[in-house]
Amino acid sequence: MTDRTVRIHRVLRTTPEKLYRAFLEPMALAKWLPPHGFTCSVHQLDARVGGTFRMSFHNFGTGNGHSFHGSYLELKPHERIRYTDEFDDPNLPGVLEVDVRLRPVMGGTELTVAQSNIPAAIPLEMCYLGWQESLLQLAALVEPDIPG
């Protein structure tokens, strides 16, 4: 059996507090999470342990989309977020788990993401590409320090 996990590591010039909020606020997620060429709708989000969320991504070029939902397993403010993801499409079975860790470092915050149990129908390379694009957008959201 192969390991269906992607692991991403970045250091962003921001605080753990700001990054933590970016993962839990609906408007922030809708801005940075969808990879290039996609939009995101956050239909529901209850950011507490045991709380759930529901979102959908839409391919801007084709108009196609997919929806997914999950629940929060662990929320350690400014340090760790663990949640599940499950596609509504029966062709993408299984429950993914995402583990996000934040650690203050010199010059910013170290961000590590592990997404596991990715359905076999999704090439791991596409997950890596999607996360890389999303994290570029995340950096554009959280790194500016705009007064007022």
Q: What are the tokens at 30?
A: 């809708």
CB 15 within 8 A of CB 39: no
pLDDT tens per residue, range 56-84: 999 999 999 999 999 999 999 999 999 99
Fold annotation for 6-142: Alpha-D-Glucose-1,6-Bisphosphate; Chain A, domain 4 (3.30.530)
Which residues are paired to 85 by β-bridges? 96
CB 56 within 8 A of CB 67: yes
Instruction: Report residue 3's pLDDT band, with 50, 70 and 90 as the boundaries.
Output: confident
DSSP state letter for 69 = E
| From 37-41, 119-123, 141-145, the region with the lowest mean pLDDT | 119-123
pLDDT exceeds cutoff 90 at 1? no
Higher confidence at residue 28 or residue 145? Answer: 28
CB 47 within 8 A of CB 39: no
pLDDT tens per residue, range 83-129: 999 999 998 899 999 999 999 999 999 999 999 999 999 999 999 99
Domain boundaries, the chain: 6-142
CB 91 within 8 A of CB 66: no
